[in-house]
């Protein structure tokens, strides 16, 4: 075998190893599962008296196509649509906004395309009318529209911001962050409204939360945030690729794997509970309606995302 052939074999072997390590390997597989105390979560959902939410609406704000393996290790290079998606729980007092998304400038800087200005105005209106604004975590694609809200001072008091969110992502908070005032100390399982419970799930960020929602109808949802950006993250379960989770957007990978194992176990025992992935535009457009998650009526005639 000539020197060149040997070199090529070594090179291809190294590339294959790098591909496996960065985009396929879903380990460490021995990361301990983190469990959800669903009985305690359901009790918390009943702890605050009043009417529970009556529905869930979503507004897609921007999207980009990326190889599935980037957000779900080992799922191959098939392109998936990663969307910035904002959610609204319908309530009697103006609704609860979950993850209002980001501004057009931030979307462009993160590589998101098809920015929908109409959806952005709609989400700003949601925040204007809302009784409460919640965040699964404090990354800019989840909180940017809130920080950049043109009437920030009139909406800031509605946001539930944990101490950890302020503490560990200070660099991401801009001018308006100074006006946030007291961040809240939250219990591991904290009810914030009738049927709405924040669950501390540190991993993707140290202050990441999942948001449990029980509607008046009894339907249950768990907004997983970026612990499960795609539906397959919790289904397999598999975390983000090492390329993303270790290099591009570092996270506590063993913790995330633990929560994903916990989500899968939770789903197996509670088949009607809907785990809502944060960025899975393909899932929400294909399956959302089946689970009672409706595209905002204002966006139904034309969404540039789909
Ligand atoms: Zn995100």
Average pLDDT of span 252-257: 94
The residue with greater pLDDT, 2 or 264, is: 264
User: Cα of 142 to ligand 1 centre, how many Å?
Assistant: 6
The verdict on residue 11 lying in a domain is yes
User: Cα of 62 to ligand 1 centre, how many Å?
Assistant: 12
> 105 φ, ψ to 5°?
-65, -45
For the chain, how many structural domains are there in total? 1
User: Cα of 55 to ligand 1 centre, how many Å?
Assistant: 23
Q: How confident is the model at residue 183 (pLDDT cuts 50, 70, 90)?
A: confident
User: Cα of 279 to ligand 1 centre, how many Å?
Assistant: 7
Is the pLDDT reported for residue 172 higher than 80? no
Is the pLDDT reported for residue 94 higher than 60? yes
> 251 φ, ψ to 5°?
-145, 170
User: Cα of 102 to ligand 1 centre, how many Å?
Assistant: 10
Residues 6+ apart with CB under 8 A from 75: 68, 69, 232, 236, 238
Average pLDDT of span 228-244: 91
The verdict on residue 304 lying in a domain is no
The verdict on residue 306 lying in a domain is no
Q: How confident is the model at residue 151 (pLDDT cuts 50, 70, 90)?
A: very high
The verdict on residue 37 lying in a domain is yes
Average pLDDT of span 215-231: 97
User: Cα of 7 to ligand 1 centre, how many Å?
Assistant: 40
User: Cα of 99 to ligand 1 centre, how many Å?
Assistant: 9
Task: For residues 216 and 140, give the distance between their C-alpha atoms in angstroms, rounded to a whole number.
Answer: 31
Predicted confidence at residue 21, as pLDDT, reads: 81
Question: What CATH number does the domain containing 10 carry?
Answer: 3.60.15.10
CA distances from 202 to 13, 185, 222, 232 (A): 36, 14, 15, 20
Is the pLDDT reported for residue 168 higher than 80? no
Is the pLDDT reported for residue 16 higher than 70? yes
User: Cα of 248 to ligand 1 centre, how many Å?
Assistant: 13
Angle at 150 between CA 297 and CA 198, to 5 degrees: 65
The verdict on residue 189 lying in a domain is yes
User: Cα of 278 to ligand 1 centre, how many Å?
Assistant: 7
Q: Percent of the chain having pLDDT more than 90?
A: 67
User: Cα of 138 to ligand 1 centre, how many Å?
Assistant: 9
Predicted confidence at residue 175, as pLDDT, reads: 57
The verdict on residue 67 lying in a domain is yes
Task: For residues 225 and 206, give the distance between their C-alpha atoms in angstroms, rounded to a whole number.
Answer: 13
Q: Which domain holds residue 91?
A: 3-299
Predicted confidence at residue 25, as pLDDT, reads: 81
How does DSSP classify residue 173? -
Q: Is 95 helix (H, G, I), strand (E, B) or coil?
A: coil
Average pLDDT of span 227-254: 89
The residue with greater pLDDT, 162 or 89, is: 89
Among 149-158, 185-194, 266-275, the least confident range: 149-158
Predicted confidence at residue 102, as pLDDT, reads: 94
Is the pLDDT reported for residue 48 higher than 60? yes
Predicted confidence at residue 192, as pLDDT, reads: 97
Is the pLDDT reported for residue 12 higher than 70? yes
User: Cα of 145 to ligand 1 centre, how many Å?
Assistant: 13
Predicted confidence at residue 173, as pLDDT, reads: 52
Among 38-47, 50-59, 108-117, 265-274, the least confident range: 108-117
Is the pLDDT reported for residue 248 higher than 90? no
Predicted confidence at residue 19, as pLDDT, reads: 81
């Amino acid at each position: 075998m000539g020197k060149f052939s040997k070199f090529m074999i070594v090179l291809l072997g190294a590339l294959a190893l790098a591909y496996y390590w960065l985009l396929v390997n879903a380990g460490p597989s021995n990361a301990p599962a983190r469990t959800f105390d669903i009985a305690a979560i359901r009790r918390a959902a009943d702890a605050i008296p009043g009417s529970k939410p009556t529905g869930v609406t979503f507004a897609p704000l921007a999207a980009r196509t990326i190889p599935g393996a980037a957000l779900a290790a080992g799922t191959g290079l098939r392109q998936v649509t990663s969307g910035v998606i904002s959610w609204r729980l319908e309530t009697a007092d103006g609704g609860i906004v979950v993850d209002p998304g980001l501004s057009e400038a931030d979307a462009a800087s993160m590589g998101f395309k098809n920015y929908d200005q109409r959806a952005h105005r709609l989400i700003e209106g949601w925040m204007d009318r809302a009784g409460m604004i919640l965040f699964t975590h404090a990354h800019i694609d989840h909180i940017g529209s809130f920080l950049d809200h043109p009437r920030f001072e009139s909406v800031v008091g509605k946001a539930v911001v944990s101490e950890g969110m302020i503490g560990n992502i200070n660099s991401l908070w801009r001018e308006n962050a100074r006006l946030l005032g007291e961040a809240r100390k939250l219990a591991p399982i904290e009810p914030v409204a009738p049927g709405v419970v924040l669950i501390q799930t540190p991993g993707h960020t140290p202050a990441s939360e999942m948001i449990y929602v029980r509607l008046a109808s009894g339907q249950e949802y768990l907004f997983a945030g970026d612990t499960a950006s795609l539906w397959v993250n919790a289904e397999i379960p598999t975390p983000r690729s090492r390329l993303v989770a270790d290099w591009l957007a570092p996270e506590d990978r063993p913790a995330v794997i633990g929560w994903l194992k916990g989500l899968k176990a939770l789903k197996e025992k509670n088949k009607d509970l809907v785990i809502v992935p944060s960025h899975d535009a393909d899932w929400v457009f294909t399956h959302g309606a089946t689970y009672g998650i409706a595209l905002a009526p204002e966006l139904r005639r034309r969404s540039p995302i789909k």
